[in-house]
Chain A
Amino acid sequence: MKEYLGEFEELVLTIVGILREEAYGNAIVAEIRERVGREVNLSAVHVTLYRLEDKGYVTSQMGGVTKARGGRRKRIFTITNAGLVMLRTMKDVRIDLWKLIPQLNYE
């Protein structure tokens, strides 16, 4: 594997995949809070998104104008094919590794 993805990067990338057209900063923070129960800082999410964009796993464009947000547009992120491939590879690798652990029963 050439590129390496950190744990938090992977989490954010997955959430971007889940949220689709609604993937912008605040929504991602809320989604992580809801699904993972983890409180993350908005700035951390933003920084991670930009880094993922640099690596080519997400793209972004500005959304439509709304009255909320002081009239400022949202920056919407979408997962790219490379991002999807990356997520899938990571998942596969993890499952392969998981299979190698002696299956113990905790009964």
Chain B
Amino acid sequence: MNKMRHKADATGQLLRLLEWFCPPELYEGIAGDLLEKFEVEVKLLGMKKARRNFFWGVIWFFRPEIILRNKLSFNPINIIMLKSHLKVAGKRIWARKTNSFVNISGLTLGIVCTLIIAMVIRYELSFDSYHSNADRTYRIVRVSQIEGQLEYRTGVVPALPIALRNDLSGLEKVTAMSYQRNAQVNVIDDKGNTIEKFQEGEGCAIVDESFFEVFDFNGTNFKWLLGDAKSALTAPNTVVLTRSIAEKYFQGINVLGRIIKLEKMLDLKVTGIVEDLPANTDFPFKLLMSHATLQQWRGDSFVTDWNSLSDVYQSYVVLREGVSKTDIEQQIAQIHAANVFKEISSFRSYVLQPLAQVHSDVRFGNYNLRIVTVESIWALGIIGGFLLVMICINFINLSTAQAITRSGEVGIRKVMGSTRWQVVGQAITETLLMIIIASAVAMMASTLILNKAQPLIGFDIPNEPYADGFVWVCLLILIVVITGLAGIYPALVLSRYRPVQAMKKNLDTSSGGFRLRRILLVTQFTIMQILIISTFIAVRQMHLFKEVNMGFDKEAVINVEIPNRSEDKLATFRNDMLSLSSIDKVSFSLSLPSGLKRPRWFWDIRKKGTDASENLVYEYQSVDHQYLDLYDIKLLAGRGFIEADGTDYIIINQTLSSDLGFANPGEAVNSQVIVNGQTMTVIGVMQDFYSNSFKEHFDKVGLVKSPPDYRLASLKLNGPDGKVASYDNLRQSLEYIKRKWDEHFPESVFTYSFLDENVEAFYKEEARLSRLFQLFSFVFLMIGCLGLYGLVSFIVNRKTKEMAIRKVLGASVSQILLLFSKDYLRQIAVAFVLATPVAYYLMSAWLNGFAKQIELHWWYFVGPGVFVLFTALLSVGGQTWKSATANPSNKLRNE
């Protein structure tokens, strides 16, 4: 007997599962066969094994051939009940407008945000994932060990891809490419005259003929409109244009054989037109020059060049199937070691970086200059999840609180013969109806919002939400998940009521999960406060980026690229600029003190008298004698440049000085150093300034006065009253500068940038995230308060009489307010206590990513906490106040 029960226990649940998915007419035969097999196996193999086999036996039957044999049985009773459920649900939603409004708007807000988050995440993960060989494609990146620190760079030497292509059998394809920002493009007519000039800030690339084999943009709209991948990019001086660029230059795409002139010196023949590359690629190319062009331009030594490095010259490889990444890395190391000096190969190595990480690894850059880390994707995902939790909690809180008002209905239903499951069905139908209404509103809202929110999200979502299958799938999943999370528990609570008790209505508000409601509220407020505190701190940190002193003056500086570097030309340009009253100072230089977009050259330096192995890599900058003054860079010792200085003087920064082994700045002055083999005298040591973003530390920087290397002019603006120029002023100045520019350099396009914007560009991604977080904090606060409002207005309504009687008996308004609010206040306080350590932990981890960070003051936590408390009080207090100040006789009279 005992044994039999044991057996029944072992199989019972699984049989029930089988019965659930198996068509009824087949069930008996199948269950019998399974049981028979089980009985035999218990004797043969023992209980444990037999049970396991039985389990798998049942699971094996869970297959479409069986499940799809279920006939959809339409029990007429079910249809009638569904109709009635829908009708009742509709009526109830309509009858309790406040409640329904609170519920539906909370749900809508949550669904809109979750949908947008899902779209953003999908977009960010889709970058370059569509190429046929994406999983086997790697970028060759450079990792150097310099003074115990690892330096991560993207550039490779030109000879490396060539050597790999010839020597490594494990590579299927190798491609090399380069990229140029700010290229001037002249459109040339048949007779060689310039028709129009364009300045391309982005998109000018140099690719070889294998580029489109490695990156085939399979599954996007990309295709060749004219020309073909095989022949278009083989010859020197050829270029492939994207459709939109061709239309911009030639007002049409039928332009094979036309000529464009690059940077006023290179004639390129159009040999192909391709469809625009998709937005979700880190190869934002618009003009694709043939690699042979670069090769011809740089001469024969280019292919054997194992030394010159530029971060834009990158190489991608496709591994053969089954070839391991480490093998290839070892082979690359061998080739590299065989071709360069031992000193170089000892600290520099080439590593393969998977294509999927090009978009997400902050240590290396990409051509887009936009990196989205895996962490920020996770952060977004978690926020989406929390949003779901928030709206579900709202829903559960409101529904369980209100279950009490439905007790009578449930009682009657049960007396009339409703089963518990029918009551559950009714409650879930109502939830589902509400969620569907919310989804419909959300769908419309997200279409509207997405158009407006694009600058905030930071990219174009190509599809309208309703035209995107992915969105519909997400929406469906959301509906199911929310119904499951939010609908089932209240329905179960409701259906548990016993008819007699329920009809007597002697249930109080504390029934139906009063404790659960408390826990949920605390959870909700904890999540909310974590987010709000974190956002507050993130905003403070973003503020720091903008405001803090970087070691140089970045305000009101305009940078202009200069095409002609002859000294007298620059001198007249400078004089012309200075003749304008609003321009205070003018300086010429190779680069800028800082900023995302600027030329960067790296040279070797060592103390005179030391060995070549002591060489340090430092950032070489060529500046004129005005530079330090214009940027207000402080000297610690020695002097700045004067006009008469030659090219053999150098000013180094503090970090470089101490890394070279000088005990103090004073000692460095007048000593001799060797820079790229040439002896120079240190004339000054300047204070460190941030040449990178605050995510990194100071770099080693040295300044030399070498006019042939000047690339940029810096113009310091000065308002009439000595302050920074106003907007009108600025526009006037810019117009003037452009006019003068056109006089001096008629063949070039005038382009300028503001240094402070260039520096802020470092934090574009952080700024975007911080804006998103601000938005989400607001949404969380809204949803939380909405829920609280709904809950309180319900309870206050239920307790109007209690309030009235208390008042009649002499309670003051403030006493009543306190009585009804203190519970919520306590919960918010508990939530604050829980949220603070979590937020502290999260934000210190985030801040650790920056070399310069804000201190976490106590009020960064208390401030947002008080803010949440205040907002919550407003939503609770308004309701309570109305009831508490009402005339008690009005409330008590109607009975």
Contacts and interface: CB of A to CB of B under 8 A. Distances in A.
A42 B32 contact: no
A57 interface: no
B34 A42 contact: yes
A52 B28 CA distance: 19
Contact of B60 (A41, A62, A74): A41
Interface footprint category on A: 20 to 34
Interface string A62-104: 1000001110111100000000000000000000000000000
Contacts of A60: 29
B66 interface: yes
Contact of B65 (A25, A47, A68, A73): A47
A50 interface: yes
B33 A25 contact: yes
A47 B31 contact: no
A26 interface: yes
B28 A73 contact: yes
Contacts of B37: 26, 42
Nearest to A74: B32
B71 to A, nearest CB: 13
Given A26-B36, A69-B35, A70-B35, A43 B29 contact: no
B39 A68 contact: yes
A70 B34 CA distance: 10
A43 B66 contact: yes
A48 B33 CA distance: 15
Interface string B31-52: 1111111010000000000000
B24 to A, nearest CB: 13
Given A43-B66, A47-B63, A72-B35, 16 more contacts: A26-B33, A43-B61, A46-B61, A47-B66, A50-B26, A60-B29, A62-B28, A62-B29, A68-B36, A68-B39, A69-B32, A69-B33, A72-B28, A74-B33, A75-B26, A75-B29
A22 to B, nearest CB: 13
Contacts of A68: 35-36, 39
Nearest to A75: B29
Given A50-B69, A51-B65, A42 B57 contact: yes
Contacts of B28: 62, 72-73, 75
Interface string B7-38: 00001000000000000001011111111110
A43 B66 CA distance: 9
A20 to B, nearest CB: 17
Contact of A43 (B31, B57, B69): B57
At the interface, is chain A mostly helix, strand, loop or mixed?
Answer: helix
A43 B34 CA distance: 9
Nearest to A43: B60
A50 to B, nearest CB: 7
Contacts, number: 64
A25 B32 CA distance: 9
Nearest to B65: A47
Nearest to B69: A50
A10 B60 CA distance: 22
21 contacts: A25-B29, A25-B33, A26-B36, A26-B37, A42-B34, A42-B37, A46-B26, A47-B63, A47-B66, A50-B66, A68-B35, A69-B36, A69-B39, A72-B28, A72-B32, A72-B35, A73-B28, A75-B26, A75-B28, A75-B29, A75-B32
Contacts of B65: 47, 50-51
A70 B5 CA distance: 12
Contacts of A51: 65
A68 B43 CA distance: 14
Which among B31, B32, B60 has the greatest number of chain A C-beta atoms within 10 A? B32
Across chains A and B, which 10 residue pairs bring their CB atoms closest together, nearest first?
A: A75-B29, A72-B32, A25-B33, A43-B60, A69-B32, A47-B65, A70-B35, A43-B61, A69-B36, A69-B35
Interface string A15-55: 00000000011100000000000000111101100110000
B23 to A, nearest CB: 9
A24 B57 contact: no
A51 B63 CA distance: 14
Nearest to B62: A43
Contacts of B29: 24-25, 46, 60, 62, 72-75
Contacts of A47: 63, 65-66
A74 B36 CA distance: 10
Which among B28, B29, B61 has the greatest number of chain A C-beta atoms within 10 A? B29
A62 B32 CA distance: 11
Contacts of B57: 42-43
B33 A42 contact: yes
A44 B61 CA distance: 8
Nearest to B53: A42
A26 B57 CA distance: 12
Nearest to A51: B65
A70 B27 CA distance: 13
A17 to B, nearest CB: 19
Contacts of A44: 60
A24 B26 CA distance: 12
Contacts of A75: 26, 28-29, 32
Interface in B48-95: 57, 60-61, 63, 65-66, 69
Contacts of B11: 70
B60 to A, nearest CB: 4
B31 A46 contact: no
A44 B66 CA distance: 10
Given A26-B37, A51-B65, A70 B60 contact: no
Interface in B416-451: none
Nearest to B8: A70
Contact of B31 (A24, A26, A50, A70): A70
Given A26-B37, A43-B57, A70 B32 contact: yes
A25 B60 CA distance: 14
Contacts of B39: 68-69
Interface string B264-303: 0000000000000000000000000000000000000000
Contacts of A72: 28-29, 31-32, 35
B54 to A, nearest CB: 11
B63 A43 contact: yes
Contacts of B60: 41-44
Contacts of B34: 42
Interface string B759-796: 00000000000000000000000000000000000000
A31 to B, nearest CB: 14
